[in-house]
Structures are given as structure tokens and as C-alpha cells.
Structure 1
């Protein structure tokens, strides 16, 4: 595919999409569970998600170490192709891209060859590098595939990236979006400032990855003073691990937020507080997010989409008390789960 996005794909991305970060379905012996992996993609697509992000943090970074990176991307491609043929709806296709420059360029090439539209570029492997070195790395990947920047929170391996980095990163022509997931309002503002100061505010779509602040992020319009003018910039969509579960209700809420009048904002913020509470349980915030992947799996197991809580890294386990916390938020916020939707469709997804 072309190394640059078409006009139509740019419009799709900048219009704002609900994009779940896909988990990886494994068998008890840690082989790829192809049937359930396909079911996950079918679930998200039928729920109305505007894109899929595969091979990302929620997918387990370790899939690369056991040879599952390309197979997982291939299954996702097949399901997105099938959905497009069936529905006529375009889906934005995102592949996680990680590692040193050689690895990241190789992964970008795999994703591009499979027809993915952009690479979500993680920089955790380059901790300690200067901004100049980081930007050079990003330029190399952007020569292969359009790039979505990824500000990963430090609790799960990310590094602090300053406004200067985001300004220079945003000047790369083939940067098309940024997923902001530092779980920190100050760091999030650094990204917005950097994008505006780069002069490419109109070209780069901002997506929230702040699972602790989803609704507030999507309601906020930043107004950044620069050179005697005020530039307005909104976060147009979400690319979220939290949206890997209860996805149908997340898509419905996203559409409600996009169409909300100012008078509806307060009610939506109240809904957002409940979502943050649920996320605290799913992501195990009490224990430094150690159980975040296992927590997502637990919900999908309850719904029948995953068979068991199988992870490549043996340390990725539910924390003590986390299952009870998930019980609590299930009971407190029944309006947020999409169990009925899943129950009505799961047999078809698992066919």
C-alpha cells in the first residue's frame, strides 16, 4: 500500500473514531486461539467501532517474542476485509509498532504489506534517548507507514516525553495522529501544545488513550495561545484498552458525546466518573496497573469471548481483590455493560 494516507482515510481519522485496542486470544498452551481471535474482531466491528488497533499494549507486547505478531495482524486483516465486503463500511486499520529502529521499521513493513493504514508507534524501547534521536527513529518508521504517536504511561513502561519532542515529532509529514495515554493531565497538555506549536494542528488528529479520563478528554476543547492567536484543538476520538470491553456501550456513548449540546456536558461528565471507576477495576489502578491486561481478559471471559486468562508473561495476572472490584463495578453500573448485545451475537461471532 502507499506510505501515505488517502484523502478519504485522513477524513475518516480526523472525523473521530471509537477504536478498541484488541486483546490477543490464546489457548491454555499459549497458542493463538484463531476462532476466538476472529470473534473479538467481529464483536468490535459489529458493535460499530470505527477502527481496530492490533498488536498494541492490550494485545500483549510479548506476542512478538513467540512469533504471533504477524499471525494476529493477518487474522485482523481478514476480518476487516470481510466486514468491508459485507457492510461497505471502511474501518481504520492500526498496527502496533515497537522496538529499536530496525525492529520498528520491519514491523511497519509487515503492517503496510498487510494493508494496515497506520502504525501506532511505541517508544518504550528507546528510553534514555535524546529528542533528536527519538525523532530520527520516528522519521525512519514514517517512511514506511503513516505514524500515530503513542504516549504510553510510565506505569507500564512508557517514558516522559516533553513538549519539545511532540513539537518536532509533529513536524514529520507522515505523522497523522497521536494517541495520548500518559494518564496525566500535565503530560496530555504537553502533547496538545507541541502539536499546535508545530504548525500542523489541522493535519494531526488527537485521540485519547487516557482510560482514566475518557469522557472529559472527549468533551474538552483546548485553546492554545500562540504568536498572538488562539488555536482551538479537540480530541476527536479514542483509541483505548478500556474499549476492548463493553464496546457496544462505549461506541454508543462516543456517538452521544460527538453530538452533545453544551447543556448535556455535565450529565456526560457524571457518566464519565462511573466509567473511570470501572476502569480502575479493569486496569487494577490500586496496584500500579499490574493487572490491566488480566482485568480486560476477565471481563471478556465472563462474556464468553475468551476461554481463559491466558497470558504470555506469567506476571500478567489478576491482583488480589481485583476480581471482587470487577464484581463491584458490574453491580454498580449495569447500564455500562453490553452483556445482552454479546449474548445475542456471540454464537455468530464464534462460528
Structure 2
């Protein structure tokens, strides 16, 4: 991995998980896909994660055929952005499937200039730890790997401390995104990395329900050392992104000062409440992708909430919940920022 990219990753940046733009008829909307990428760059994101859960895993289906086109389009926009940046964007691509598929996806990411693969293990739902570790080693031999603890309610699987301790021993692992939405399982990952002595594995929160607390907490190890979560790689940060970038900076400053204001903790609760509406927590996250799309639709970035799978729609009452958090937390929204630049992004 390029030194400048690794420095940015280790410092901790905001990495939104990139959604997929479709027309109302269900066709790929390249114009709005580009607009989304431009929005994230303009909002101050330090990287992008493409081809991940928020992008919809179904882009890989043979009848859809959007995996490479979506990755390539994002690369074009990131190339354009990096031409005027001093710090390169961290380019993360999703990797999933069995070992053969995952290795092929890793090779594609490398060919397209992506820096790391966010490795989902959902396809190996019944595999034992030996099989999982062998799979991860095979992918890490091709591309630097970011581990991914995805919550089971949206397609992930339970992963033990013992697995994460072995995973942390893989030389090609550069970071881990922790998104089990579970304190105990998050601690399993942090403890495993610390017990492995891997100071070079950077921790990122994917716990969209606990963003601020993750970012301001010093996690203690058995030897008296502390580990902190550097940044966020989050579906939640696909919306209201300019505010998310500012929030990350505030959390990092508080963490460095070892002084977390009560007001920042209160903001964390507000963010979690907003996430409950966007991700449809009331209905076991059934509308999580459609909820993200709905916020982007309201801002004009997307034309529709349509997803590739017809069952992925807003749940009953979810739009009302999004209305509620908009009213409750207008200071978290970045609608004015989007409105000021939308025409330029859509060109």
C-alpha cells in the first residue's frame, strides 16, 4: 500500500459506504452515481468504499453486471479528485463470495487501482475457523485486506474471538471494520488485535448505532495499553456526510485531549436516533438501504429509492421516522450544503 494512503488510513478518515444510483425503471443512473461520488469528495470524505453492502451485493449477479462498471466509474471520479488533492483518497472495494470469487474480485480491485479490499465472510456462513483463515490468507495475498464484522441481521455471521485472533496474524491485514452492532463482539475484535500485538492494524467503526462512543473511547488491554478506533467506514455516513466529517474531527480532537464533552456524547445519541430511522431498526433493518436512498432522494442526489432487489423498500412508517429525525436534529443534516452544489455535481 502506498505510504500516503497508509498514513491517511492510519490517521483515521471518514469513509462513506457508496450507494448505487438507479433510475425509476431500475437502470443504472451513471449521472447520479457520479454526483454521489462528487458529493462525498466535496463533503470532505477521506476515502470511499464501493461494491460493499450499501452498494448492494446484487451488483455482482450475472443478470445485473454492475460490479466492474460501478467500481470503474468511482475510480474515474476519485482519479479526478486526487489530481487536486494533497492527500489521496483511500480506495476500498468490497470483496465477497467463496475463495475463487473473492480472489477474482481482489484481482479486479488491484487492476482498477483500489488500495484495499473490505472482506465479507457472509458467503462462508457455515465454514469453520480453519477454512475462514485459509480464505482470508488467499485474499490477503492479492490485496491488502480490511476485515469486516458484518452484523448477522443484514447478512453477516457470528465470528469468535479465536477467529479474530488468528485473523490478526495475517500479514496482509491492514485494518478491521467492526460492524456487529454489538458491544461484546466489538470488544472481541479489539482484544484480539491487541493480544496479537498488531499495532499496524487500524481499527474502524462500522457500528452505525454507536459511532461517537466508538470514536472517543480508549479500549484497555490486559497489559495496560490502550487502543483507539481511528475512523469510520459507515453506511450511515453515506448521508449527511459533511456533518459526519466534522463530527469525526470533533471526536478525534476529544480523544487526543482525553476530554470528552457531555455535549458530544449527547450528539452521539442524536446520531444513533437518526440512524435508527435511516436503517429501519424498528423492522430489523429491513429498510436500511432504502432508508439511505430516501435521504439522498430528498436532497436531490438520487431520483428514486429503488433497489436492485424488489423487496428492499422503505418499511411502513419508516418515512415518518425519517421526517421525525429531520425535525429533531436539523443541525445534523447537510441539505443546504447539497443544495448549493447539486447542479455542479450533476453535470
Q: Is 1:220–2:205 an aligned residue pair?
A: no
Structure 1 residue ranges without an equivalent (≥5): none
Partner-residue secondary structure (3-state), 1:22: coil
1:270 maps to 266
Q: How many residues align?
A: 343
Q: Is the 8 A contact 1:282 1:326 kept in 2?
A: yes
Cα displacement (A) at 1:27: 1.5
Equivalent residues of 2:8, 2:87 under 8 A apart: no
- Cα distance between partner residues in 1 of 2:321 and 2:16: 22
CA contact (8 A) 1:153 1:159 kept: yes
Residue 87 of structure 1 is matched in structure 2 by: 85
Structure 2 CA distance for aligned equivalents of residues 308 and 31 of structure 1: 11
Shift in Å at residue 9 of structure 1? 2.1
Q: Does structure 1 residue 306 correspond to structure 2 residue 308? A: no
Instruction: Report deviation, 1:194.
Output: 0.9
* 1:48 paired to 2:40: no
The SS at the match of 2:224 is strand
Runs of 4+ in 1 over 4 A off after TM superposition: none
Match of 1:22 among 12, 18, 21: 18
Provide TM-score, normalisation by structure 2. 0.97
Q: Give 1:87 deviation, angstroms.
A: 3.0
Whether 1:168 and 2:162 are equivalent positions in the alignment is: no
Partners of 1:97 and 1:122 within 8 A in 2: yes
Aligned to 1:257: 251
Quick one: distance in 2 between partners of 1:87 and 1:231? Answer: 35
2:208 and 2:154 map into 1 onto residues whose CA distance is 13
How far 1:310 sits from its partner (Å)?
1.3
Q: Aligned partners of 2:97 and 2:259: how far apart in 1? A: 45
Query: Secondary structure of the residue that 1:95 maps to in structure 2?
Result: strand
Which residue is equivalent to 1:349?
345
Summarize the alignment of residues 209-248 of structure 1 with structure 2, pairs less than 5 Å apart. Answer: 209-225=206-222, 229-248=223-242
Q: Shift in Å at residue 267 of structure 1?
A: 1.4
1:145 counterpart SS class: coil
Query: Is the contact made by 2:5 and 2:89 (CA closer than 8 Å) also made in structure 1?
Result: no
* In structure 1, C-alpha distance between the alignment counterparts of 2:15 and 2:305, rounded to whole Å: 23
Of 264-273 and 332-341, more deviation after overlay is shown by 264-273
Cα distance in 2, alignment partners of residues 257 and 170 from structure 1: 26
Once the 2 structures are TM-superposed, how far is the Cα of residue 7 of structure 1 from its aligned partner? 2.7
The root-mean-square deviation of aligned C-alpha atoms, in Å, is 0.9
Q: What SS does structure 1 have at the residue aligned with 2:313? A: coil
Q: Alpha-carbon deviations, 1:153-197, whole Å to 9, x = none?
A: 010111110111001101110100000000000000000111111
1:9-50 CA-to-partner distances (Å, cap 9, x unmatched) read 222111001000000101223221110000000000011000
Which residue number corresponds to residue 141 of structure 1?
A: 139
1:339 maps to which of 313, 331, 335: 335
How far apart, CA to CA, are the structure 1 residues paired with 2:201 and 2:86? 26
Shift of the alpha carbon at 1:263?
3.9
What does residue 151 of structure 2 align with?
Answer: 153
Q: CA deviation at 1:256?
A: 1.2
**1:33-44 mapped onto 2 (5 Å cutoff):** 33-44=29-40
Shift of 1:236: 0.5
Residue matched to 1:98: 96
Whole-angstrom CA distance in 1 between matches of 2:23 and 2:142 = 33
1:89 is paired with a residue of what secondary structure? coil
Identify which of 110, 129, 132 aligns with 2:130: 132
Gaps of 5+ in 2: none
Check the 8 A contact 1:83/1:89 in 2, yes or no.
Answer: no
